[in-house]
Structure 1
Amino acid sequence: MKMVKVLIADDHALMREGLRKILSTEERIAVVGEAENGDQAIHLAFSLNPDIILMDINMPVANGIEATRAIKRERPEIGIIALTIHDQEEYLFELIKAGVSGYILKDIRPGLLIQTILGVANGESFIPSSMTSRIFAEFNRLYSLSPRNSNTQGLTKREIDVLRLVANGENNRSIAKKLFISEKTVKNHLTSIFQKLGVGDRTQAAIHAVKSKIVDL
């Protein structure tokens, strides 16, 4: 993996310093800048072009959700990981709609933080397993009044099976076991699903599937 450039956005200097020290222990990660508010995060995202932004939610001037929306509109390729003290699903719901690829709490273990950054840089998404079912249940509730969309958008039956398990928070190994296929086959199905739906990762694919009523939860 190439060096992953990270921008830290948090209004607390001690938090930024602590994150920088943790990330300095990983040779595959380079911290390229720090922002103390949402406007700075937007400016530095455009000028430094990081691979990943660790984005605090509650910041002055512009909050993390507003900054995420602004950045993803212009630089959708940048992976944004929300870093917050909150574990309430309404924050996660808004952040997913804004375009984050990960959502982690500030008491996360250093090793898991590094693993999450490297994973998101590699095209993966991260949502705490304890919140996965709740967030997709909320999407399902919001769109439950819409008539079911019979348009599968070109997905095969097997791809829909994979997508349904993704939307339920299953990882590739679990999907492979439940469908009696290899993990490589799961990855191939996901690549095809992303292409057909025009999305970049499994979280976006799951949200699209629920919104479009391709799958039921």
Structure 2
Amino acid sequence: MTIKGKNLVPVSVFVRAVDPLSLQGAEFCLHDSVETAVLSPAQSARADVVLLLANEVTEETMGWMVEANVESTNPEMRIVLVADRISIPRLTRAVRYGVVSVLPRAQAGFPEIVQAILHSHAGGSQMPGELVRSLIEELRASQHDPTGARLPGGFESREIDVLRLLSDGLSTTEIAAKLNYSERTIKNIIFAVTQRLNLRNRTHAVAHAMRIGAM
């Protein structure tokens, strides 16, 4: 196919999905488009775009992103994520791994997915406004400790700020107002620290931080 005398080179796409049915459906629709070419697993390293389909973004999904980055031989590779649920900490990591577009799975049909692939390959980005705002806020919050230094026990300084206020009896709403974050960001910080340090809940996190002298 040509456009104004120039060859139209299809965007090469490698697809990964949480279930075979989603994988087959995505590959069928991409095969049906003259603007995309589906790659086999053996060809995945040269993909222009890696399309990931998931219900909820888990650590396994995050591993797919890392794998795509490590194995890619294409410096222009982009990742398009189609998922219903992703936490903001994981979204922040996903962007670092090459995700440029996120589509809600419940609302994205294959025409929208194809357009997102083409748009992302052309240097664009597509993401729901709520996710963009949350991502910006999370990145802004991370600047609270620009050195990224860890305190005793593996805590970050902003985590200790939140835990100190929790120990004073403040609610997540009150902490958000005091630190000028959204309540969602505060909850994400608490969730991240309890998961990373294998703590049972916020009370356990406060007690652990006090016990090791981090606060």
TM-score (norm 2): 0.54
1:51 alignment partner in structure 2: 48
2:69 alignment partner in structure 1: 72
Look up the equivalent residue of 2:89 and give its one-letter code: E
Contact 2:55–2:85, Cα closer than 8 Å, also in 1: no
Distance in 1 between residues matched to 2:86 and 2:78, nearest whole Å: 20
Distance in 2 between residues matched to 1:3 and 1:92, nearest whole Å: 28
Q: Secondary structure at the match of 1:70?
A: helix
Look up the equivalent residue of 1:14 and give its one-letter code: L
Contact 1:57–1:84, Cα closer than 8 Å, also in 2: yes
Q: Secondary structure at the match of 1:23?
A: helix
Deviation readout 1:173-211 (Å, 9 max, x if unpaired): xxxxxxxxxxxxxxxxxxxxxxxxxxxxxxxxxxxxxxx
Deviation readout 1:13-62 (Å, 9 max, x if unpaired): 1001111233234211121226xxxxxxxx6422xx12111124589xx8
Deviation readout 1:65-110 (Å, 9 max, x if unpaired): 2232233245342111122231432331221122222222322122
Q: How does 1:144-163 map to 2 (within 5 A)?
A: 144-146=144-146
Q: Secondary structure at the match of 1:101?
A: strand
Distance in 2 between residues matched to 1:121 and 1:145, nearest whole Å: 34
Q: Secondary structure at the match of 2:79?
A: strand
2:128 alignment partner in structure 1: 128
Distance in 2 between residues matched to 1:100 and 1:80, nearest whole Å: 4
Look up the equivalent residue of 1:51 and give its one-letter code: D
1:109 alignment partner in structure 2: 109
Contact 2:55–2:84, Cα closer than 8 Å, also in 1: no
Q: What is the identity percentage for the equivalent residue pairs of Structure 1 and Structure 2?
A: 18
Distance in 1 between residues matched to 2:77 and 2:126, nearest whole Å: 15
Larger Rg: 2
Q: How many residues align?
A: 135
Aligned with 2:13 (options 6, 19, 23): 6
CA RMSD of aligned residues (A): 2.6
Distance in 2 between residues matched to 1:146 and 1:31, nearest whole Å: 41
* Superposition deviation, residue 63 in structure 1: 2.1
* Superposition deviation, residue 6 in structure 1: 0.9
Look up the equivalent residue of 2:16 and give its one-letter code: A
* Superposition deviation, residue 4 in structure 1: 0.8
TM-score (norm 1): 0.54
Structure 2: any 5+ residue segments left out of the alignment?
Answer: 1-7, 148-215
Q: Secondary structure at the match of 2:102?
A: strand
Look up the equivalent residue of 2:121 and give its one-letter code: A
Q: How does 1:166-177 map to 2 (within 5 A)?
A: none
Distance in 1 between residues matched to 2:103 and 2:90, nearest whole Å: 11
1:26 alignment partner in structure 2: 33
2:169 alignment partner in structure 1: none
Q: Secondary structure at the match of 1:123?
A: coil
Structure 1: any 5+ residue segments left out of the alignment?
Answer: 35-42, 148-217
2:98 alignment partner in structure 1: 99
Q: Secondary structure at the match of 2:40?
A: strand
Contact 2:18–2:54, Cα closer than 8 Å, also in 1: no
Q: How does 1:192-207 map to 2 (within 5 A)?
A: none
1:119 alignment partner in structure 2: 119
